[in-house]
Structure 1
């Protein structure tokens, strides 16, 4: 017997409709590319999104059309989010940090019909346009005066605001209704091994994911929250937080292209931000700005939670946020293939009496699964391993917002139980907390035992004078592999190999001690801000370990 309840499709347009109706005056703040602050609210954004939807339809965008963006976090980009998806087209957000070859590949692979881009990316678009045969129109995101001043030499080009100038508001417009399983957005992986792979989300998967990330035991979006989106809108839909803000009535703060420590600190302070989300490199730049200027963030800010994703945060970052900012550093883990959220590291009631050091031990973990996500770890033969916090194996996931197959790719991604292999090595303890040991391709196999490059890196950046650290495996004739520690010094720091090894002594297992420590000016990062280990392995493949 079936239930007898109404069957309404879960569509992304319903989130915007809710925002307009129930919190129309809540602000959306953008630091524009030119510098000045732009302010609008959910009512105004909804009105412009409707006009934009009409304009897109007049230009031939239909259900299933691919519309690409090459843009930072601004209100215009957010308008495209709701307008494109609202009419049943697919928004393809492109990471501008990808190489030109990868940019060309994913636009052509997706068969994008339109490309909207920030003016800062006009030179890249100019160089690529002749190799993008499916793109019929290019639109520059900016006010008309700025667009005309640049006037890039791009075929079939126009300014974004001309779409509004040519399209009057239509009070009778309503968002179309369609199957909730239709595609909504397309995101590509960063392509660190081979070409990027496309992950095609649906309206249903996105709305379900959004409802879960808004829970208080998850990322905790709410009507009394002010959310700073440092994580880009092109990075897995900014982890779903734009949708969560629309649903809950949170104020949104968008930094545009200004991600330096000074700009981020000013937004945190001036907009009274309570929740901020970004990768660890962003928070490192924030710390550097605070230190260089002798600021007192605990007195000047009201930041309650700082969400870290993309890569694990070192312990010193957790301690620093707690001590100097009065902020809880919230580990969250997932991946493009997971929409992206899988686990969040909130504390349990039984942890209330813990000391700060004991609490930090738990915060170092990636967290517990949110509702809807199932986890397991498996051994080399595919057998399930116990959740005892000791056994480590490949982390497998399943759930209603987790990939089943790649865009235009073959199936076969899932095991016999319907689980997707994340490529991570992890442990899961009795309380359900996941602790990543390493990426399967980055873990170091030494003498038949695993060494976690993540743990070694996190320990190394705690050493005074070390700004960043990376660990890679190098071949060894006796032990199979041994760790090489590659460090970047803080400006003006006096630190050498002996200093680092002395600092690590007693903080890691003796046999984990790196065979050598080298210093470089900078470490390569992927397009999503993670350490680019493949590049490091190539650069140091012939490096001779001592002895």
Structure 2
């Protein structure tokens, strides 16, 4: 090597090591509300209170009150990193807590009020919450567990002062009075983007809930990507109604995304029945709504009852569990509403995949495109997926092979809150989701089942998700769940637990006949059992462990023909 060559190589290395010369601004939650207030300050925020009455605000007002809340918390002695809990519906007060707590450098811990009292006590004590902000609806819950909370110093009711309630709950503070302790439009504190911004606990069916501690950086990056056209596709021209609760995975990031894009926001409060939602969609010209399948079942029924065509509604994002194909068809065929399938978890902030068709799919028939729409979609930039076998080795992405789904990315959990480090991820550094899935060569991922729910009959796998979707396609069925039952010959076989729509007249034989030609004969459930309702956890997911416990022996000594 000549001296000149060495000099040239040294110069190249020096050039490579030069840092980019761009501004470095922290990615923080308070930057989102600052943007919304400055450039979309008059965009409306419609909020339904616990009394059912609507109120109207805007991003400028929410910004001012969020800053005042952050200032009030500092005045009360709380410092960056302190956890402040909320037990609230989707309303403007909860939005102010979202932004004011995190924007002030504290951690907004959203609590699901549907947890059992023991779980509520556990998550509050585990998080070491210092303050609880709660809606009037949840006063009995908070009163019941108050004496068991180890670290909570202040209880703040989200209302104006109420002397009668104050007598019932000694030491209670009222939100509007507490807010006055702060300075309106106070300056935000300096926050590093890797500081914690919010905390949400899983609602697993076994063991204690686990905390997932999001950072400002992960939250902003998630919002940036989730707003994109091939994700949730939100803009300042949208009117967005998150029906998914703000106490569940940060309402899928919608409060942050809508602040980022400056969209009008419609917060439906406690009234999540179909008729209430239809009236809000029509009165506020909602263009996109987001929620779980059970919510949209009620909405479709209410549209019929009220004679509404939901004219303004263009899209609905469905997650939480697989959307029955029949529901997708009804939304699209009858109302012209695009159904966007998505998948994620508390541990993934939650966006993991969103179903957006590719340009090459334009040449497909409508039936072909609908088949693709039934999958949970493709990962956006920022996350990666893979499927692995029982031996941990990666499986092919051919749309056929199915295995354990793993994920990694910029907004995926690294360690559970309060758990010993390096105990959460697999040895390869990926997060094990607990889902069984397949991925095709375009990256479209299809959830086949939860690993604990998939049925293995005579050595062959049967997807409960597929069987449930077929059952839901019958006009007489309102809800369905498929679980494994023990079998003398095949080890286990599928059985269907079905909830009829009111006044429906259908027999077990008729419902099982509905499967003919839709799946292989050996995959058809051995029994269809009609039940009054399905047990659900705090986020509305069916508790299949309870169903297996109750119905798991119905086939013993009764082999299928």
Q: What is the TM-score when the length of structure 2 is the normalising length?
A: 0.94
Residue 152 of structure 2: which of 122, 135, 148 is its match? Answer: 135
Residue 355 of structure 1: which of 358, 365, 378 is its match? Answer: 365
Does structure 1 residue 156 correspond to structure 2 residue 147? no
Residue 235 of structure 1: which of 242, 248, 251 is its match? Answer: 248
What SS does the corresponding residue of 1:352 show, helix, strand or coil? Answer: helix
What SS does the corresponding residue of 1:369 show, helix, strand or coil? Answer: coil
What SS does the corresponding residue of 2:35 show, helix, strand or coil? Answer: helix
For residues 108-128 of structure 1, what are the alpha-carbon distances to aligned partners after superposition, in whole Å with 9 as ceiling and x for unaligned? 111111011110110011110
Residues 456 and 493 in structure 2, CA contact (< 8 A), matched pair in contact too: yes
Does structure 1 residue 201 correspond to structure 2 residue 211? no
Shift of 1:7: 1.5
CA distance in 2: counterparts of 1:59 and 1:497, whole angstroms:
62
Q: 1:15-34 maps to which residues of 2 (within 5 A)?
A: 15-34=32-51
Residues 486 and 553 in structure 2, CA contact (< 8 A), matched pair in contact too: no
Shift of 1:288: 1.8
Residues 286 and 312 in structure 2, CA contact (< 8 A), matched pair in contact too: yes
Give the aligned partner of residue 390 of structure 1: 400
For residues 252-273 of structure 1, what are the alpha-carbon distances to aligned partners after superposition, in whole Å with 9 as ceiling and x for unaligned? 0000101011110011111111
CA distance in 2: counterparts of 1:309 and 1:156, whole angstroms:
40
Residues 354 and 378 in structure 2, CA contact (< 8 A), matched pair in contact too: yes
Does structure 1 residue 307 correspond to structure 2 residue 317? yes
Aligned length: 540
Q: 1:365-404 maps to which residues of 2 (within 5 A)?
A: 365-404=375-414
What SS does the corresponding residue of 2:297 show, helix, strand or coil? Answer: helix
Residues 278 and 308 in structure 2, CA contact (< 8 A), matched pair in contact too: no
Shift of 1:541: 3.4
Residues 9 and 177 in structure 1, CA contact (< 8 A), matched pair in contact too: no
Give the aligned partner of residue 185 of structure 1: 198
Shift of 1:153: 2.8
Shift of 1:356: 2.6
Residues 195 and 216 in structure 2, CA contact (< 8 A), matched pair in contact too: yes
Does structure 1 residue 118 correspond to structure 2 residue 135? yes
Shift of 1:142: 2.2
For residues 327-359 of structure 1, what are the alpha-carbon distances to aligned partners after superposition, in whole Å with 9 as ceiling and x for unaligned? 110001010000000100011111123333222
Residues 126 and 153 in structure 1, CA contact (< 8 A), matched pair in contact too: no
Does structure 1 residue 499 correspond to structure 2 residue 514? no
Residue 529 of structure 1: which of 531, 540, 553 is its match? Answer: 540
Shift of 1:525: 1.4
Give the aligned partner of residue 277 of structure 2: 264
Structure with max Cα Rg: 2
Q: CA RMSD in A?
A: 1.3
Residue 253 of structure 1: which of 266, 273, 287 is its match? Answer: 266
Does structure 1 residue 88 correspond to structure 2 residue 105? yes
Give the aligned partner of residue 279 of structure 1: 292
CA distance in 2: counterparts of 1:29 and 1:227, whole angstroms:
10
Residues 72 and 180 in structure 2, CA contact (< 8 A), matched pair in contact too: no
CA distance in 1: counterparts of 2:365 and 2:313, whole angstroms:
22
Q: Which runs of 5+ in 1 are unaligned?
A: none
For residues 410-461 of structure 1, what are the alpha-carbon distances to aligned partners after superposition, in whole Å with 9 as ceiling and x for unaligned? 2232233311100000000011100010000000011111100000000011
Q: Which runs of 5+ in 2 are unaligned?
A: 1-16
CA distance in 2: counterparts of 1:375 and 1:229, whole angstroms:
26
Shift of 1:143: 3.1
Structure 1 pair 498/122, CA: closer, same or farther in 2 (3 Å)?
same
CA distance in 2: counterparts of 1:178 and 1:67, whole angstroms:
17
What SS does the corresponding residue of 1:273 show, helix, strand or coil? Answer: coil
Give the aligned partner of residue 478 of structure 1: 489
Q: 1:296-335 maps to which residues of 2 (within 5 A)?
A: 296-297=308-309, 300-335=310-345
CA distance in 2: counterparts of 1:354 and 1:85, whole angstroms:
46
CA distance in 2: counterparts of 1:542 and 1:142, whole angstroms:
51
Structure 1 pair 510/213, CA: closer, same or farther in 2 (3 Å)?
same
Does structure 1 residue 105 correspond to structure 2 residue 116? no
CA distance in 1: counterparts of 2:281 and 2:449, whole angstroms:
32
What SS does the corresponding residue of 1:416 show, helix, strand or coil? Answer: coil
What SS does the corresponding residue of 1:207 show, helix, strand or coil? Answer: helix
